[in-house]
Amino acid sequence: MSASRGEIALFSPHFVPPEAQSDASYRGVPPLSHLALAGPLRDAGYRVLMLDAKWDLDWRRAIKERIDHLTCVGVTSLTGTAVRDGLEFSAFVKSLRPDLPVIWGGWHATYAARQAVEDPRVDVVVRGMGERTFPELLEAIEERRSLQSLPGIHFREGSSIFSTSDRPVEDINHFPPPAYDLIDPARYICSIGPGIRMANTIFSRGCPFACDFCLDSRNKVLTLNVDRMLADIEFWIARGANHIRFYDGNFFLGKPRIVEFCNAILARGLEKKFRWMATAVGNRVVQIELSKWMTICWTSANAPA
């Protein structure tokens, strides 16, 4: 790791309306995108302050205390409540330090990048995967270099908006594991029923199908290897989880990988320690042959925990 180059505050706004923000299953979802981003930022020499609106209710105080030490702030976004809350956060930062770069990413900002960066509370939008782009962007800002050669961003200079070429996707196994040491994991293990202690994680990105309602569709599928998946599962089991929900857009893509995953669970005896659930495309699931591989999935997902 490089010598410290400054501090980055990463803010995860609420992504459900106020009436749903007390729900245990919502509060149990960790800031997955920022946990993925924090590792590459730290490898580049930056300290990271993680702020999750679900739990860090006094984020204004936290920002005020660190404002003079920050190199920039980052905001993730989903369409809806997260945009409103993210802009409130960005406005607060700008009220304290108008010069501090405010960088947005996530699904909404990627989809509506020009609209996002036209807002004076947003300086740069990182489109798509940020693990490479964000550290390179910070380096360019620190060195006062032009951003026009940096792929994967929208940015504003004066009254002009610029868009650079897309950054190619990359194998996500090249990046560090989630920076769980930056959060309190106990916050994110939620009780959703008698004896059910649920954790949430994610192992892949992208989906090849063409669903118009989903921004993850029509994208190359990127998956963690099975060893990385099991290490993540064992992390949550060690902290008391006995159910884990996988937030993958379409977990059941690729029969060989799923069979490998389920066999690895059985080989380690983990089926005795937790149950799991995952997302699938319904019309594909109903067409799957009820064969040995589905029996393996069922056994590993439903063994007594």
- Token duo for residue 123: 């300086």
Q: Is the dihedral of CA 248, 253, 256, 259 positive or negative?
A: positive
Report, as ranges of residue numbers, the positions in the chain whose pLDDT lies below 50: 1-3
CA 88 to chain CA mean position, Å: 20
Residues 6+ apart with CB under 8 A from 227: none
Q: Rounded to an integer, what distance in angstroms lies between the CA atom of residue 202 and that of residue 221?
A: 13
CA 231 to chain CA mean position, Å: 18
Q: How many CA atoms lie within 13 A of 291 on its CB side?
A: 6
For 107-139, how does the pLDDT look when each residue is reduced to its tens digit (9 = 90+)?
999 999 999 999 999 999 999 999 999 999 999
What pLDDT shows up at residue 293? Answer: 52
What pLDDT shows up at residue 292? Answer: 53
On whether the CB atoms of residues 112 and 119 are closer than 8 A, the answer is no
Q: Rounded to an integer, what distance in angstroms lies between the CA atom of residue 206 and that of residue 208?
A: 7
What pLDDT shows up at residue 50? Answer: 97
What pLDDT shows up at residue 211? Answer: 78
Q: Rounded to an integer, what distance in angstroms lies between the CA atom of residue 67 and that of residue 220?
A: 38
Proportion of the chain above pLDDT 70, given as a percent: 91
CA angle 134, 128, 29 (to 5 degrees): 90
Q: Rounded to an integer, what distance in angstroms lies between the CA atom of residue 125 and that of residue 114?
A: 8
What pLDDT shows up at residue 2? Answer: 47
What pLDDT shows up at residue 298? Answer: 57
In this structure, what are the phi and psi dihedrals at residue 243, rounded to the nearest 5 degrees? Answer: -135, 140
Q: Running DSSP on this structure, what letter comes out for residue 63?
A: H
Average pLDDT, the chain: 91
